[in-house]
């Protein structure tokens, strides 16, 4: 008797997709994957449960009918994803307190670089500066990626810039819109915030243990459903493009771009990342106001002046009215009113 192979839903899904909408017989699947008809039946049940319309015909076999809406799940993201390590392992949850907290827990337990966490909803979604991130179910993307750069912690400040570039490019790839960037790590379309990044790091003096890149994207949420009283005008991809966006495709593009820019950073240093980031930074030459820190020993302070850009380490440079150039390492930026 032949030993049966261990297969996963993704193998069956890939085989069905390979038939391009046509039928493929249970016998053919069984021979191709070296598994029993019972195993195929079980996995097709699981695929249907996951939202795939798999049609069965007593003589012709199985076929995947075109879905009304493509499912948003781990299978659709990992299947043939053109990356080396990012998004190869996707942990998908209906609801989490926070994808960053879950990813941090997994990272401490030893999860591999590139492991991804996604949630359909977050009950305690977090933004920068311990703020909350509005995370209703089923319409947006909330995802975290585990990175383990072999670098001292002080060399990693540009990783968030690299991720912001990747995020903007992934949105552009998927929707055709041309996002701009706001310092330090927001993505805007038509001047309104549609996505943000929360980078969390666990480090020693000399090396990084792990970095969690948390990304929230307002995708298909209606503008009317966004909360009031946000610090910065917010919108969604749906509102700004007028179309629904396939979240699985957006995630695939995001993980691909993220891996690309992460590799550029590790192999070539920060110059190309910083230059590419600057191309999307539209605040240069404008009057801005920053609530932030200038450094150690300094109280949180307000800096106002003309935005000059960022330096090679990602700090913001502001020319004050006095002519002095201030370097701000962390804070909130807004264009000055009027």
Give residues in contact with its own copies (CB under 8 A).
128-130, 151-158, 160, 184-185, 197-207, 209, 265-270, 293, 295-298, 313, 329-331
User: 220 or 303: whose CB is closer to its own copies?
Assistant: 303
Minimum CB separation of residue 332 from its own copies in Å reads: 9
User: 118 or 211: whose CB is closer to its own copies?
Assistant: 211
**Alpha-carbon span 193 to 204, nearest angstrom:** 33
Q: Quickly count: other Cβ atoms within 10 Å of residue 69's Cβ.
A: 9
Q: Decide if 51 contacts 67 (C-beta within 8 A).
A: yes
Helix (H, G, I), strand (E, B) or coil at 270: coil
| Peptide bond preceding 48 in cis form (omega within 30 of 0) | no
Minimum CB separation of residue 16 from its own copies in Å reads: 42
Q: Decide if 82 contacts 255 (C-beta within 8 A).
A: no
User: 68 or 130: whose CB is closer to its own copies?
Assistant: 130
Minimum CB separation of residue 203 from its own copies in Å reads: 5
Minimum CB separation of residue 183 from its own copies in Å reads: 11
Minimum CB separation of residue 82 from its own copies in Å reads: 24
Helix (H, G, I), strand (E, B) or coil at 17: helix
Q: Which of 70, 277, 324 is nearest to 183 (CA)?
A: 277
Q: Decide if 213 contacts 199 (C-beta within 8 A).
A: yes
Instruction: For the chain, report the end-to-end CA distance as a whole number of angstroms.
Output: 80
User: 3 or 205: whose CB is closer to its own copies?
Assistant: 205
User: 172 or 332: whose CB is closer to its own copies?
Assistant: 332
Tell me which residue has tokens 């370097």.
327
């Amino acid at each position: 008797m032949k030993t049966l192979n261990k297969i996963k839903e993704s193998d069956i899904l890939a085989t069905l997709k390979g038939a391009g909408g046509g039928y493929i017989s249970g016998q053919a699947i069984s021979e191709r994957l070296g598994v029993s008809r019972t195993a195929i039946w079980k996995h097709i049940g699981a695929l249907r449960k996951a939202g795939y319309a798999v049609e069965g015909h007593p003589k012709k076999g199985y076929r995947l009918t075109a879905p009304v809406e493509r499912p948003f799940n781990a299978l659709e993201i990992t299947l043939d994803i053109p990356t080396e390590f990012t998004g190869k392992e996707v942990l998908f949850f209906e609801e989490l307190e926070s994808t960053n907290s879950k990813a941090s827990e997994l990272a401490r337990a030893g999860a591999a670089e590139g492991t991804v966490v996604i949630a359909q909803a977050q009950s305690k979604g977090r933004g920068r500066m311990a703020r909350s991130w509005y995370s209703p179910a089923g319409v947006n993307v909330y995802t975290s990626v585990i990175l383990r750069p072999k670098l001292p912690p002080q060399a990693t400040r540009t990783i968030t810039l690299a991720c912001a570039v990747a995020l903007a490019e992934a949105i552009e790839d998927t929707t055709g819109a041309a996002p701009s960037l706001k310092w330090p790590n927001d993505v805007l379309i038509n001047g309104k915030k549609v996505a943000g990044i929360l980078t969390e790091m666990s480090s020693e003096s000399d090396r990084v243990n792990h970095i969690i890149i948390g990304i929230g994207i307002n995708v298909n949420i209606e503008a009317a459903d966004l909360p009031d009283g946000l610090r910065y005008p917010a919108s969604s991809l749906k509102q700004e493009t007028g179309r629904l966006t396939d979240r699985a495709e957006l995630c695939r593009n995001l993980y691909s771009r993220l891996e690309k820019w992460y590799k550029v950073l590790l192999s070539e240093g920060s110059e190309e990342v910083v230059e590419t980031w600057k191309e999307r930074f539209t605040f240069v030459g404008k009057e801005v106001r920053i609530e932030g820190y200038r450094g150690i020993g300094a109280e949180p302070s307000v800096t106002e002046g003309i935005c000059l850009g960022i330096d090679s380490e990602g700090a913001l440079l502001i020319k004050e009215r006095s002519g002095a150039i201030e370097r701000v390492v962390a804070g909130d930026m807004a264009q000055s009113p009027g």
